[in-house]
């Protein structure tokens, strides 16, 4: 398991923050490399999605954990304490892309297609960070002996209490890795231009919904499902609709 902090000589950074920062840089680098003739637009798109994505991610986390923040309002803006929700990040990032698209007179569908690699990279970084920060941990089980290897593990919760639990970080890492491989294949073969983003969102949403059944971290429950699982279903429905309605992109649009 990765440590909570990663040390580079005199520099000491939270592993969660570092992994997300590296994923953002890798995503930008891939976008700029693939679409070098549109470098400035891609950078603007990433920055717009990043800024509003962080705002949305924090807002989503605060709403899902309102029982805590209602009595600790000073913690709302303390991003260094952790707490980001991927549904809020998605919504904020999409709003950021729309703003940049209108400002730069560029197709939002094209921007989404260009930013598709960021989805699995950020998901991979988020689960790796959770493995270090003990977030998104699994529900407790009776004993490791009753389950297949790798399905469960002796893992701590957010309070550091060790117990046999479902290995949810591993599930998330596998989901992200498989999705990343799919994105690489789609880009390499040139398949589903204009619809790749929505297909990846479908897979991530379905995967997160499934993982939600074995998570053990605190969540509000509505009609037998975690609140974040309901958001997973909404993201899945929106992704299916987006896949159906998205225009097919054959080539980059003219400047």
Per-residue pLDDT of the chain (255 residues; tens, 9 = 90+): 788 889 888 888 888 889 988 998 998 888 888 776 678 888 898 899 999 998 998 898 888 877 777 777 777 777 655 678 899 999 999 999 999 999 998 888 888 988 899 999 999 999 999 898 888 899 999 999 999 989 999 999 988 899 999 999 999 999 999 999 999 999 999 899 889 999 999 999 999 999 999 999 888 899 999 999 999 999 999 999 999 998 876 544 433
The residues, ordered by sequence, that sit 6+ positions from 41 with a Cβ below 8 Å of its Cβ are 100, 104, 106, 111
Q: Tell whether 148 is covered by a domain.
A: no
Q: Tell whether 60 is covered by a domain.
A: yes
Q: Tell whether 149 is covered by a domain.
A: no
Q: Would you state the pLDDT for residue 61? A: 83
Looking at the 3D structure of the chain, how many domains does it have? 1
Q: Would you state the pLDDT for residue 36? A: 67
Identify the three-state secondary structure at position 71.
coil
Separation of alpha carbons 133 and 60, rounded Å: 19
Domain limits for position 43: 5-135+169-206+221-245
Q: Where does the chain have alpha helices with state H?
A: 15-34, 39-64, 66-69, 86-103, 108-114, 118-133, 168-189, 196-211, 227-245
Lookup result for tokens 């950078």: 43
Separation of alpha carbons 202 and 239, rounded Å: 5
Residue 146 exposed, middle or buried by CB count within 10 Å (0-12, 13-18, 19+): exposed
Taking the alpha carbons at both ends of the chain, their separation in whole angstroms is 47
- What the block records as the tokens of 159 is 């309070």
pTM of the model: 0.89
Q: Would you state the pLDDT for residue 200? A: 96
Q: Tell whether 51 is covered by a domain.
A: yes
Handedness of CA 201, 178, 17, 154 (dihedral sign): positive
Separation of alpha carbons 171 and 197, rounded Å: 21
Q: Tell whether 150 is covered by a domain.
A: no
Contact, 128 vs 19, CB < 8 A? yes
Residue 149 exposed, middle or buried by CB count within 10 Å (0-12, 13-18, 19+): exposed
């Amino acid at each position: 398991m990765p440590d909570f902090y990663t040390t580079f000589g005199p520099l000491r950074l939270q592993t969660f923050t570092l992994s997300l920062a590296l994923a953002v840089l890798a995503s930008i680098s891939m976008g700029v490399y693939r679409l070098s003739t549109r470098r400035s637009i891609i950078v603007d798109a990433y920055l717009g999605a990043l800024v509003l994505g962080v705002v949305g991610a924090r807002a989503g986390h605060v709403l899902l954990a309102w029982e805590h923040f209602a009595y600790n309002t000073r913690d709302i803006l303390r991003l260094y304490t952790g707490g980001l929700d991927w549904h809020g990040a998605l919504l904020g990032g999409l709003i950021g892309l729309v703003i940049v698209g209108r400002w730069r007179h560029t197709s939002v569908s094209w921007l989404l297609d260009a930013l598709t690699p960021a989805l699995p990279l950020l998901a991979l970084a988020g689960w790796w960070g959770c493995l270090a920060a003990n977030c998104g941990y699994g529900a407790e089980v009776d004993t490791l002996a009753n389950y297949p290897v790798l399905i469960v593990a002796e893992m701590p919760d957010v309070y550091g209490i060790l117990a046999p639990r479902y290995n949810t970080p591993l599930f998330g890492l596998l989901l992200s890795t498989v999705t990343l491989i799919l994105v690489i294949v789609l880009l390499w073969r040139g398949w589903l231009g204009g619809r790749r983003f929505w297909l990846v969102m479908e897979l991530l949403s379905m995967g997160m919904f499934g993982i939600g059944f074995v998570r053990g971290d605190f969540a509000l429950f509505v009609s037998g499902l975690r609140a974040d699982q309901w958001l997973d279903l909404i993201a899945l429905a929106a992704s299916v609709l987006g896949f159906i309605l998205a225009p097919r992109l054959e080539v980059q649009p003219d400047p």
